[in-house]
């Protein structure tokens, strides 16, 4: 049988791959030569994506806790147990005492059914995805300003960009295939502008690198807008035809002082000027930023969209705004409504017409109040209100950066769906094993809105049922009249309730390379580039932003600013990476010099403090202290301490009372002598 095209499930790029099988085992992966995103290329993760399914410690049977221990159970026992406990909890405490969280790696079908279970069967909007712990700001801002919460263009559009701005995201490490597109565009003559507080490989290749103080992007974009307005480079015909609220934005922009903004960001004013002029004068300019783990403040995203609107860099080849999703289905889980305040297709829960539409489709009333988000559920169980939590392929113990998510231990019921035992199992009352990549036919939506099928090429271990089907069985056990017998039927329903998926069928996803939404009956081939006809329907809206008056968080006693963010090293803690033999080895090698983790300190700061690479140091903040090892590097800017995302305990040790507060912490560094 000819191999079927499938999609890599490690990151949001969604590279096209084929899987090799032998005797119902996955034994290899190789790239599609013609897939528009990766054209024959894969990163190291893609080459080894098949190894996860064959890991020897896969969970294969449901487990139920009794007498303090997890014991094997049948599917019927596990589903009945959960249905009964959820029913009791709902009756005693009400539907909002139950919450559902999933991973941004879950399939579209699984995510759609999970939020439908919450809303239509349990009666709560307490649904969110794991990346929502950090924020869903990007969704809200893009919906308000552009009317669409997604990338406006396709990854291969970057080949035609004259200017590419990469803000904050470490492309080479997080989304390597996109980094390849950017570097190839640069080799063909595109100008590359990097923005961020940490030097990465984008910075090494950039024509202009603006190494700003952490979290001063708003001041930077305001200053760029000021330069563009002052030099009469604003695209006035585009603004007049397609935008609203320009006058208020203009008045605010005219009040901006370039020199003051440059001082706030701590970068030269002439570099800001050069970047702004390049972006505005380009025939096509693209702006890339991350929507994932590294949370972006609402205003920094508004400032980026303002810049794109001011210059009309949208709706044409090589131009656009690229909110990048690092997890493979963050776009899809949001499209499917795994959001506490938005129904599938981003319709607000607060909108009575939207609720009525879904109530009609699902034959059940939809609760009117927005639900608790992941942060509230995991922070303190929504003030103690949440008594039961369902976690689908998501383990906050391994990934959440804030506070102490062990409050889950106080729940009356914790259900975990996962491939493997993880730290969360300690608190779980029921563990449901899930199918792995290659064992089920489902769909994912990549960072360029491309909906693609992941094909079933091997059978799952005996008895194992797909996660989406587990949700169906639970809904049925709780009295719902759900009749899905295949994931394809779920997609048919998704197409019937989400207008921009309305032309999607498994048949057309299996042709060519999936479909980029909006894929409708009028546009069955999908839409690679949004807004080619302008703002279509409603006008784009400029946002007014509070003027920024200072940057950074350091003070006299605590002269350095601690920032938490992603680095290549964080991958070594990923549950999936740890279960790929090759990738586990690769990523652990990175940590050979710092086996217990590290924080990064700039070379000049280290010299002043007489700290050498590999030395034990103590970080002191107003609220506490933490010990780590110093990695001395010029990648971080002076005045900054960078904590890779996997060193989770540092934030809670430094800010114990408010571990989920500010992401910038003023600190000082001392040598640790003990």
Segment interacting with ligand SF4, rule: CB under 6 A, options 5-13, 316-324, 455-463, 649-657: 5-13
Longest dimension (CA), the chain: 73
Q: Which residue's CB is nearer to ligand SF4, number 16 or number 194? A: 16
CB of 19 to ligand SF4, least distance (A): 13
Q: Which residue's CB is nearer to ligand SF4, number 124 or number 574? A: 574
CA separation for the pair 311, 276 (Å, rounded): 10
* Structure-token pair, residue 394: 């998501």
CA separation for the pair 415, 432 (Å, rounded): 8
Told to check if 151 binds ligand SF4 by CB under 6 A, we report: no
Told to check if 104 binds ligand SF4 by CB under 6 A, we report: no
Q: Which residue's CB is nearer to ligand SF4, number 253 or number 516? A: 516
Q: Which of 26, 46, 341, 552 binds ligand SF4 (CB under 6 A)?
A: 46
CB of 177 to ligand SF4, least distance (A): 4
Which H, E and C letters describe 157-202, residue by residue? HHHHCCEEEEECCCHHHHCHHHHHHHHHHHHCCCEEEEEECECCHH
CB of 8 to ligand SF4, least distance (A): 3
CB of 43 to ligand SF4, least distance (A): 3
Segment interacting with ligand SF4, rule: CB under 6 A, options 13-21, 112-120, 159-167, 215-223: 13-21
Q: Which of 5, 14, 341, 408 binds ligand SF4 (CB under 6 A)?
A: 14
Segment interacting with ligand SF4, rule: CB under 6 A, options 8-16, 88-96, 291-299, 609-617: 8-16
Q: Which residue's CB is nearer to ligand SF4, number 43 or number 548? A: 43
Q: Which residue's CB is nearer to ligand SF4, number 41 or number 385? A: 41
Q: Which residue's CB is nearer to ligand SF4, number 102 or number 580? A: 580
Peptide bond into 239 cis (omega under 30): no
Told to check if 183 binds ligand SF4 by CB under 6 A, we report: no
Told to check if 42 binds ligand SF4 by CB under 6 A, we report: yes
CA separation for the pair 70, 673 (Å, rounded): 43
Answer for the pair 151, 322: CB distance below 8 angstroms, yes or no: yes
Give me the residue whose beta carbon is nearest to ligand SF4. 46
Using DSSP, state whether 344 is helix, strand or coil: helix
* Structure-token pair, residue 92: 């005693």
Strand partners, 26: 21
Told to check if 171 binds ligand SF4 by CB under 6 A, we report: no
Q: Which of 43, 262, 415, 606 binds ligand SF4 (CB under 6 A)?
A: 43
Told to check if 182 binds ligand SF4 by CB under 6 A, we report: no
Using DSSP, state whether 625 is helix, strand or coil: strand
Q: Which of 8, 165, 224, 664 binds ligand SF4 (CB under 6 A)?
A: 8
Told to check if 11 binds ligand SF4 by CB under 6 A, we report: yes
Length of the chain as a residue count: 674
Using DSSP, state whether 420 is helix, strand or coil: coil
Told to check if 176 binds ligand SF4 by CB under 6 A, we report: yes
Percentages helix, strand, coil for the chain (3-state, rounded to 5) are: 40, 20, 40
CA separation for the pair 662, 665 (Å, rounded): 7
* Structure-token pair, residue 159: 């080949």
Using DSSP, state whether 452 is helix, strand or coil: strand
The CA distances from residue 609 to 123, 345, 560, 561, 664, in Å, are 57, 53, 12, 15, 21
Answer for the pair 472, 432: CB distance below 8 angstroms, yes or no: no
CB of 274 to ligand SF4, least distance (A): 31
CA separation for the pair 272, 303 (Å, rounded): 15
Q: Which of 5, 13, 243, 330 binds ligand SF4 (CB under 6 A)?
A: 13
Segment interacting with ligand SF4, rule: CB under 6 A, options 43-51, 203-211, 371-379, 637-645: 43-51
Segment interacting with ligand SF4, rule: CB under 6 A, options 10-18, 74-82, 369-377, 555-563: 10-18
How many chain residues touch ligand SF4 (CB under 6 A)?
13
Told to check if 45 binds ligand SF4 by CB under 6 A, we report: yes
**What does 545-597 look like in DSSP terms, one character per residue?**
-PPP-------SSS-EEEEEE--GGGGGG-HHHHTSHHHHHHHHHTTTT-TT-
In this structure, what DSSP letter does residue 117 have?
I
CB of 38 to ligand SF4, least distance (A): 6
Told to check if 16 binds ligand SF4 by CB under 6 A, we report: no
CA torsion 43-47-49-53 (nearest 10°) is -170
* Helix-helix angle 269-281:258-265, to 10 degrees: 110
CA separation for the pair 553, 559 (Å, rounded): 8
Q: Is the dihedral of CA 139, 142, 143, 148 positive or negative?
A: negative
Q: Which of residues 308-367 bind ligand SF4 (CB under 6 A)?
A: none
Q: Which of 10, 100, 221, 238 binds ligand SF4 (CB under 6 A)?
A: 10
Q: Which residue's CB is nearer to ligand SF4, number 176 or number 382? A: 176
Using DSSP, state whether 10 is helix, strand or coil: coil
Segment interacting with ligand SF4, rule: CB under 6 A, options 37-45, 60-68, 361-369, 386-394: 37-45
Told to check if 15 binds ligand SF4 by CB under 6 A, we report: yes
CB of 447 to ligand SF4, least distance (A): 9
Residues at the contact surface with ligand SF4, assessed by CB under 6 A: 8, 10-11, 13-15, 38, 42-43, 45-46, 176-177
């Amino acid at each position: 049988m000819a191999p079927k095209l499938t999609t890599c499930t490690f990151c949001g790029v969604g590279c096209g791959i084929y899987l090799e099988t032998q005797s119902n085992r996955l034994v290899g992966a190789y790239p599609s030569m013609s897939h528009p995103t990766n054209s024959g290329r894969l990163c190291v993760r893609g080459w080894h994506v098949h190894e996860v399914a064959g890991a020897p410690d896969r969970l294969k049977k449901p487990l139920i806790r009794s007498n303090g221990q997890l014991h094997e159970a049948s599917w019927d026992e596990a589903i009945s147990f959960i249905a009964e406990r959820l029913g009791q909890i709902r009756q005693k405490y009400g539907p909002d005492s139950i919450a559902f969280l999933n991973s941004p790696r879950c399939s579209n079908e699984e995510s759609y059914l999970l939020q439908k279970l919450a809303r239509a069967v349990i009666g709560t909007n307490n649904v969110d995805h794991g990346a929502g712990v950090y924020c869903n700001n990007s969704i809200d801002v893009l919906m308000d300003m552009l009317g669409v919460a997604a990338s406006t263009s396709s990854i291969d559009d970057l080949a035609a960009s004259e200017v590419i701005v990469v803000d904050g995201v470490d492309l080479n490490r997080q989304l390597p295939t996109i980094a390849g597109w950017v570097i190839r565009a640069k080799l063909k003559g595109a100008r590359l502008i990097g923005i961020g507080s940490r030097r990465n490989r984008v910075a090494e290749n950039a024509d202009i690198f603006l190494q700003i103080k952490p979290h001063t992007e708003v001041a930077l974009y305001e200053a760029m807008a000021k330069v563009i307005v002052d030099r009469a480079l604003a695209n006035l015909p585009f603004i007049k035809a397609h935008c609203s609220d320009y006058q208020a934005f203009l008045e605010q922009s005219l009040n901006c002082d370039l020199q003051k903004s440059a001082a706030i960001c701590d970068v030269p004013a002439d570099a800001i000027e050069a970047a702004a002029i390049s972006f505005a004068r380009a025939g096509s300019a693209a702006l890339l930023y991350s929507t994932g783990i590294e949370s972006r403040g609402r205003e920094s995203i508004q400032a980026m969209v303002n810049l794109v609107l001011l210059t009309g860099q949208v709706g044409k080849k090589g131009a656009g705004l690229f909110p990048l999703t690092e997890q493979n289905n963050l776009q899809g889980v949001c499209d499917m409504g795994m959001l506490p305040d938005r129904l599938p297709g981003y319709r607000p829960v607060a909108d009575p017409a939207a609720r009525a539409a879904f109530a009609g489709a699902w034959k059940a009333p939809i609760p009117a109040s927005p639900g608790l988000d992941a942060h509230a559920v995991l922070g303190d169980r929504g003030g103690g209100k949440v008594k039961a939590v369902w976690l689908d392929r998501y383990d906050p113990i391994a990934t959440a950066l804030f506070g102490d998510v062990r409050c889950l231990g106080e729940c009356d019921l914790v259900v975990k769906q996962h491939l493997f035992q993880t730290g969360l199992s300690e608190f779980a009352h029921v563990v449901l094993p899930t199918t792995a990549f290659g064992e089920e036919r489902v769909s994912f939506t990549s960072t360029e809105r491309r909906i693609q099928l992941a094909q079933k090429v091997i059978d799952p271990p005996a008895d194992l049922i797909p996660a989406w089907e587990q949700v169906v069985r639970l809904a049925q056990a709780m009295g719902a009249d759900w009749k899905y017998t295949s994931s394809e039927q779920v997609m048919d329903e998704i197409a019937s309730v989400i207008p921009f998926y309305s032309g999607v069928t498994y048949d057309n996803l299996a042709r060519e390379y999936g479909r980029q939404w909006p894929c409708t009956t009028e546009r069955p081939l999908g839409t690679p580039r949004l807004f080619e006809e302008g703002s279509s329907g409603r006008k784009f809206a400029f946002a007014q932003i509070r003027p920024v008056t200072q940057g950074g968080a350091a003070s006299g006693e605590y002269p350095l600013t601690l920032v938490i963010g992603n680095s290549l090293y964080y991958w070594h803690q990923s549950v999936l990476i740890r279960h790929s033999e090759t990738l586990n080895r690769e990523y652990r090698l990175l940590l050979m010099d710092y086996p217990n983790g590290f924080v990064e300190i700039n070379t000049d700061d280290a010299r002043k403090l007489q700290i050498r690479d590999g030395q034990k140091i103590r970080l002191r903040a107003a609220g506490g202290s933490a010990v780590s090892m110093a990695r001395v590097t010029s990648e971080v800017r002076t005045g900054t301490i960078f904590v890779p995302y996997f060193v989770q305990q540092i934030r809670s040790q430094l800010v114990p009372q408010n571990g989920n507060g500010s992401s910038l912490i003023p600190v000082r560094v001392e040598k640790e002598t003990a």
